[in-house]
Homo-oligomer: A and B are copies of this chain.
Amino acid sequence: MSRLSAWGVVGFPEVKPGDQLADMIVEACRNEPNGPLLDRDVLVVTQKVVSKAEGRLVAVNPDDPLSHKALVEKEAVRIVRRRGDLIITETEHGFVCANNGVDLSNVERGQAALLPKDSDRSARRIRDVVRAKLGVEVGVIVSDTFGRAWRKGLTDVAIGVAGIAAVLDLRGTPDALGRVMQVTEVAIADELASAAELVMGKSAGIPVAVVRGADASWFREASVQELVRPPQEDLFR
């Protein structure tokens, strides 16, 4: 297996509604001190800048927590659990997460950022513009920060993909002792998003990272829906 490297793209400008995010990523990557993008690099782009560029911002009353809560309830497809200020919901994409992904951090006071309407499409647009303008074939992951039911702390996961598998299906592959493995479907897009988070740093505000060294076999047309557990498989509905 090869070496994996990840770094945050430095000097990324502030993103505003209507900005051409893909063009901004191309420009930032052109000037990157770590050197140009290469074929089979994976670009990990945080949800926040995708939502901002796509104008997925709505006004909330910054002095009234109920204003945020009402927005969460309006946007959610289903309330999964509720306790105190915490609301776990299912989004229109099928993601189960806190506050329906509606986020107040790293946006202006008085605004909340909704998840992108279709993060796969957002990822494809970035992939296509990078291909057209830089002539390289990259995978793109739109990432967000989710909690887990039984583990404390948050990790970054994929909420959109383009040109890279979301889930790698190794079922039927022999293990190291030559036996067929019982499992394994590996959520590589989530693992790549987590690796990228480590170099972005929540407070540093770096919204784009490059991961280099992904296996050639991971690159294909894909959708983040590979990661969404269908209702009939959900043991916790």
Contacts and interface: CB of A to CB of B under 8 A. Distances in A.
A221 interface: no
- The DSSP consensus for interface residues of chain A is loop
A33 to B, nearest CB: 10
Given A96-B149, A151-B227, A186-B197, A202 B170 contact: yes
Interface stretch (A2-10, A21-29, A53-61): A2-10
A191 interface: yes
B173 A203 contact: yes
A190 interface: yes
Contacts of A192: 198
Contact of A206 (B1, B156, B183, B233): B1
Given A1-B200, A4-B5, A234 B149 contact: yes
A155 B191 CA distance: 6
Given A149-B236, A235-B81, A202 B187 contact: no
Interface stretch (A69-77, A106-114, A119-127, A129-137): A106-114
A226 B152 contact: yes
Contacts of A153: 166-168, 185-188, 190, 226-227
A195 to B, nearest CB: 4
Interface string A4-18: 111110000000000
A44 B6 CA distance: 17
B199 A3 contact: yes
A36 interface: no
Nearest to A168: B153
A95 B226 CA distance: 25
A194 interface: yes
Interface in A131-190: 145, 148-157, 166-168, 170, 173-177, 179, 181-188, 190
Given A3-B7, A176-B203, A156 B109 contact: no
Given A109-B179, A155-B190, 7 more contacts: A3-B7, A86-B235, A151-B187, A152-B233, A153-B188, A153-B227, A236-B236
Q: Which 5 A-B pairs have the closest CB atoms?
A: A176-B205, A153-B187, A195-B195, A96-B150, A191-B194
